[in-house]
A and B are shown apart, each in its own frame.
Chain A
């Protein structure tokens, strides 16, 4: 009798699993079982360091066996250089690939630090404690969520737009750069009115950097929590409309960027439809409808640097994706960086 529990017939979490089994087993092939078991097991966190805190937080975390993954880079990828903080407040990286081919320089946002426990270590972080000013020493979040912020490459004096900011994890990471000239934070849950349109019309050609961290099927959440689950029957319509909403948000972000400005599109789903397809369409529509030409920025230097910490999906033809793995249970995070040429 102990196992013959009566369960709801189709809880959203099992609908999500069915959906993922059907789509990801094709999309990821042999990798899917390994990603699946990671998604269904306890995730790992990273501790985003609060540079405004007064405590010696990093030292404390290191004493517990953590390391800041942003400085714990792959030695092979490090061959060229990592500029020191004195040299420049914004790190510029010129990388040559493992195959010797020269990759274009990639700017990473400086001063963002995130501590993680080593590979295969399942120790949990203790909740952060406030310092004497009441500031918390760190913020616990998926360490892979820090990557889109690093990839954004914010530099001194930049005007930055965080288009889908709530609840603010990535905003916090961006603020750690301490070099943002002006940060504009938007989220429909705050403004209520459809701000989206406004961004296109009023704030056109304005921002040096735009982060477009769109709502998505939040794969990990959808598998673990029945509450507020996008796979519940009554949210089917909303779920189907996600790629369209994502496309509109990315286009709004592209329009809000200035010529020469850069946009990072990110999600926390493995879905090709919500990732690569959205970016492809946005690039096409930006050119056709708005006359904006975009260049895809190669993020391979970043994946090479951080492959000690994360598992990246192999051979994506557009953007990069952190795929969950039991020994490094971060992600999923998809990100693609675009540069406005016109």
Chain B
């Protein structure tokens, strides 16, 4: 029932500081309609306690420099942000700043990927340590990765390691190029499909121990950062029918390989 009450626009007298009022929203620069919308979103969060950080969250986002309509949009995409404690939110923002994300980029990043602020500082730190120590990215490269592919902070580290090793060893691509191509925006399957397709067509080779190949490999950037039609027309020089069949064949091959590996491990 208490959740219902937040629907009424007057806060209960017990916790005046943490509750939102229409008045305070208008003060913050939201329009009438925006304020109403925000109330609707909040009323969907059924646990009253969950929404009690709404005010501090809003303040923090506005202080970051985001305008009210962006704030509204990102909170609709990610209402969990209402539930983050003020102190945690400040810690997380502080941590990202320390990682080199200056005002402008932090602002853009949060607007583009709001869940970034729902991830505990500890988790982000693990990812950073992983990128620095396991993958040997420089500090600047880690900043670039976070800026280009913030969703990396919620990825499973084992999967991440596999993807890195695949691209590093199997494709022979160095860290700088990985960053440039925004590798971590793509799923492992997307990377493998395109790479294996090129490899079987004879257009991509794993470098030998000295880093040499008998053909010139296309840059990772030109393989990944283009849509499928461009990839097929200019890099793979193949029809979409071929690529479509190939992806289905690969899915089956990998699935069977996994089953085989699973049954070997079970022995």
B233 close to chain A: CB less than 8 A? no
> With a CB–CB cut-off of 8 A, which chain B residues contact A30?
237
B246 close to chain A: CB less than 8 A? yes
Q: A122-B249, A326-B242, A327-B242 are in contact. Are A41 and B200 (CB under 8 A)?
A: yes
A34 close to chain B: CB less than 8 A? yes
> With a CB–CB cut-off of 8 A, which chain B residues contact A42?
249, 252-253
Q: A33-B202, A36-B200 are in contact. Are A3 and B166 (CB under 8 A)?
A: yes
A82 close to chain B: CB less than 8 A? no
B45 close to chain A: CB less than 8 A? no
A4 close to chain B: CB less than 8 A? yes
Q: A36-B200, A37-B200 are in contact. Are A326 and B165 (CB under 8 A)?
A: no
B39 close to chain A: CB less than 8 A? no
A184 close to chain B: CB less than 8 A? no
B-contacting residues, A1-31, CB 8 Å: 1-4, 21, 25, 30
Q: How far is the CA of A32 from the CA of B165 in the complex (A)?
A: 30
B170 close to chain A: CB less than 8 A? yes
Contact between chains at A37 and B248 (CB < 8 Å): no
Name which residue of chain B comes closest to A18, CB basis. Answer: B214
Contact between chains at B246 and A37 (CB < 8 Å): yes
Chain B, interface residues (CB within 8 Å), range: 20 to 34
B-contacting residues, A80-130, CB 8 Å: 120, 122
> With a CB–CB cut-off of 8 A, which chain A residues contact B166?
3
Contact between chains at B241 and A327 (CB < 8 Å): yes
Name which residue of chain B comes closest to A2, CB basis. Answer: B165
> With a CB–CB cut-off of 8 A, which chain A residues contact B15?
none
Contact between chains at A34 and B170 (CB < 8 Å): no
Q: How far is the CA of A40 from the CA of B248 in the complex (A)?
A: 14
Contact between chains at B241 and A34 (CB < 8 Å): no
Q: A3-B166, A34-B238 are in contact. Are A21 and B246 (CB under 8 A)?
A: no
Name which residue of chain A comes closest to B250, CB basis. Answer: A41
Q: How far is the CA of A37 from the CA of B245 in the complex (A)?
A: 11
What's the least CB distance linking B251 to chain A, in Å?
10
Contact between chains at B169 and A33 (CB < 8 Å): no
Contact between chains at B202 and A32 (CB < 8 Å): yes
Contact between chains at B249 and A120 (CB < 8 Å): no
B113 close to chain A: CB less than 8 A? no
Total cross-chain contacts (CB, 8 A): 54
Q: Which of A30, A32, A122 has the most CB of B within 10 A?
A: A122
A325 close to chain B: CB less than 8 A? yes
Q: Which of A4, A33, A41, A327 contacts B203 (CB 8 A)?
A: A33
Q: How far is the CA of A2 from the CA of B164 in the complex (A)?
A: 11
Interface string of B72-90 (1 = CB under 8 A from A): 0000000000000000000
Contact between chains at B202 and A34 (CB < 8 Å): no
Contact between chains at B169 and A34 (CB < 8 Å): no
Contact between chains at A3 and B197 (CB < 8 Å): no
Q: Which of B170, B201, B252, B253 contacts A37 (CB 8 A)?
A: B201
A-contacting residues, B159-192, CB 8 Å: 162, 165-166, 168-170
Q: A25-B202, A41-B200, A122-B252 are in contact. Are A33 and B246 (CB under 8 A)?
A: no
Contact between chains at A37 and B197 (CB < 8 Å): yes
B244 close to chain A: CB less than 8 A? yes
Q: Which of A21, A32, A33, A120 has the most CB of B within 10 A?
A: A33
What's the least CB distance linking A173 to chain B, in Å?
27
> With a CB–CB cut-off of 8 A, which chain A residues contact B168?
3
What's the least CB distance linking A46 to chain B, in Å?
17
Q: Which of B201, B237, B244 has the most CB of A within 10 A?
A: B201
Q: How far is the CA of A3 from the CA of B165 in the complex (A)?
A: 7
What's the least CB distance linking A255 to chain B, in Å?
41
Interface string of A25-64 (1 = CB under 8 A from B): 1000010111011001110000000000000000000000
What's the least CB distance linking A156 to chain B, in Å?
41
Q: A33-B237, A34-B201, A34-B238 are in contact. Are A3 and B245 (CB under 8 A)?
A: no
Contact between chains at A33 and B249 (CB < 8 Å): no
> With a CB–CB cut-off of 8 A, which chain A residues contact B169?
2-4
Q: How far is the CA of A120 from the CA of B244 in the complex (A)?
A: 8
> With a CB–CB cut-off of 8 A, which chain A residues contact B197?
37
> With a CB–CB cut-off of 8 A, which chain B residues contact A21?
202
Contact between chains at A325 and B200 (CB < 8 Å): no
B-contacting residues, A186-239, CB 8 Å: none
Q: How far is the CA of A325 from the CA of B248 in the complex (A)?
A: 15
What's the least CB distance linking A241 to chain B, in Å?
28
Contact between chains at A40 and B200 (CB < 8 Å): yes
> With a CB–CB cut-off of 8 A, which chain B residues contact A2?
162, 165, 169
Contact between chains at B246 and A41 (CB < 8 Å): yes
> With a CB–CB cut-off of 8 A, which chain A residues contact B201?
33-34, 36-37
Q: How far is the CA of A120 from the CA of B166 in the complex (A)?
A: 29
User: 8 closest A-B pairs (Cβ-Cβ)?
Assistant: A3-B169, A33-B201, A37-B200, A40-B200, A326-B245, A326-B242, A37-B201, A3-B170
Q: 20 A–B contact pairs at CB < 8 A? A: A1-B165, A2-B169, A3-B165, A3-B166, A3-B170, A21-B202, A33-B202, A33-B203, A36-B200, A37-B200, A37-B238, A40-B200, A41-B200, A41-B246, A325-B242, A326-B241, A326-B242, A326-B246, A327-B242, A327-B245
